[in-house]
Amino acid sequence: MKLLVLGGTVFLGRHVARAALERGHDVTLFHRGRHPSRVDDLPPDLRTRVDDIAGDRRGGLDGLAGRRWDAAIDTSGFFPGDVAASARALDGAVDHYTFVSSVSACASFEPIGITEDGPSLRLSDDERREGETLDRENPAHLERFGALYGALKVACEEEANRALPGRTLVVRPGLIVGPNDPTDRFTYWPDRVAAGGDVLVPGRPARNVQFIDVRDLAEWMIRLAEKRRSGMFHATGPASPLTMGDLLEVCRAESGSDARFVWRDDESLLAAGLMPWRDLPLWIPESDTSMRGFMSFDCGRAFAAGLRFRPLVDTVRDTRLWAATRPDEPRRAGITRERERELLAAAPNPRTAEAPSG
């Protein structure tokens, strides 16, 4: 199969390209000019089989003209105007188009077990016009982009389906984790637990968490493209319920550290000014009932379509080993060790459960 990967130079796109090459496909990477090509990071036997072309977010699609692929996987569509232009340009150039969306496209996160058939967010005309002016890499735009992110993804889905009806697969992943993750939204925990000592952990050990290894997602999407599957799938894991306590125990066992988990309740952490999800990744206060289902999506449709997961210990180990190779620079999520020590030294809320995980 000749595969075009839009956004193939960062995280998910890189893993899609690598998985496709390992399955014997020919790969073209199309990147929109924001990040340097990462083709050189591939092993030599794979690197020589990659065609690398550059474009520009605002309409620079000339590199796609006059070419043909069997399938395309778009990992970098965030704005409906961009997706509309890309999909239209590929109308006569591909037989199948996969658009990577997000579970954030769902209209409500309150229900447990949200399926693909639930309602999706919608942009007003004014919001759509505003969204097209945003730059998600401009710090001044990040808050507004975050507020519109889910609805923008829905509009992108619609544009893809409009341009390529019957040929479009929409995948809505949950939190994507693993090696090369630039967000630190999962990496914080394997890295921090491996360092040992007292580890501040939010909420209850038994609260549910969901995420998907980037490599499992990438390989599954390629298999769906091979089969020309269409429709929409939620894609997160694992297949069986996983608790925060379970995750931390795997992190501790994998690294062999002496980590001691100090559990603090949501109220005390919120009172200390911590921001859920960013300051302590995977943390959503259970008092926020509007987000009650965010870690409990129903992915039965994806499981039936062959989505499988590697052992959690492999994800933890590989993420930790990759993190050890990164430059010593501020991370994008998680608190500093100094801030953690301050919080651990503070008197806990009387209702704090400093319970063992598991």
Alpha helices for the chain (secondary structure H): 12-22, 44-47, 80-89, 125-132, 142-163, 188-195, 214-226, 244-255, 266-271, 300-304, 312-323, 337-345
Residue 283 is assigned to a structural domain of this protein: yes
Predicted pLDDT at 232 = 98
Predicted pLDDT at 351 = 42
> What is the spatial distance between Cα 108 and Cα 105, in angstroms, rounded to a whole number?
9
Residue 103 is assigned to a structural domain of this protein: no
CA trace torsion 45, 47, 48, 52 (10° rounding): 160
Residue 9 is assigned to a structural domain of this protein: no
> What is the spatial distance between Cα 204 and Cα 351, in angstroms, rounded to a whole number?
11
Residue 73 is assigned to a structural domain of this protein: no
- Domain count across the chain: 1
> What is the spatial distance between Cα 157 and Cα 151, in angstroms, rounded to a whole number?
10
Cβ proximity of 91 and 164 under 8 Å: yes
Residue 34 is assigned to a structural domain of this protein: no
Can you give the pTM of this predicted structure? 0.91
pLDDT tens, N- to C-terminus, the chain (358 residues): 999 999 867 789 989 989 999 999 999 888 765 555 555 566 565 555 555 555 554 546 777 888 899 999 999 899 999 999 999 999 999 999 999 999 999 999 999 999 999 999 999 999 999 999 998 888 999 999 999 999 999 999 999 999 999 999 999 999 999 999 989 999 999 999 999 999 999 999 999 999 999 999 999 999 999 999 999 999 999 999 999 999 999 999 999 999 999 999 999 999 999 999 999 999 999 999 999 999 999 999 999 999 999 999 999 999 999 999 988 888 889 999 999 999 999 866 544 444 444 4
Cβ proximity of 242 and 184 under 8 Å: no
Long-range own/partner contacts, residues 264-267 (CB < 8 A, 24 or more apart): 264/200, 264/201, 264/202, 264/343, 264/348, 264/349, 264/352, 264/354, 265/203, 265/204, 265/349, 265/351, 265/352, 265/353, 266/202, 266/203, 267/349, 267/351
Other Cβ atoms closer than 10 A to 152: 28
The residue range of the domain holding 247 is 178-209+241-290+311-358
- Which residues partner with 31 through β-bridges? 54
CA trace torsion 177, 137, 5, 51 (10° rounding): -120
Cβ proximity of 33 and 56 under 8 Å: yes
Residue 154 is assigned to a structural domain of this protein: no
Listed in sequence order, the residues at least 6 apart from 311 whose beta carbon sits closer than 8 Å to its beta carbon are: none
Query: What are 22's two structure tokens?
Result: 């390992």
CA–chain centroid gap for 351, Å, is: 34
Predicted pLDDT at 34 = 55
Question: 242: closest CA among 189, 195, 181?
Answer: 189
Burial of 337 (0-12, 13-18, 19+ CB in 10 A): exposed
Other Cβ atoms closer than 10 A to 164: 21
CATH number of the domain where residue 247 is located: 3.90.25
Q: How do strand 168-173 and strand 2-6 relate by DSSP bridges?
A: unpaired
Cβ proximity of 305 and 231 under 8 Å: no
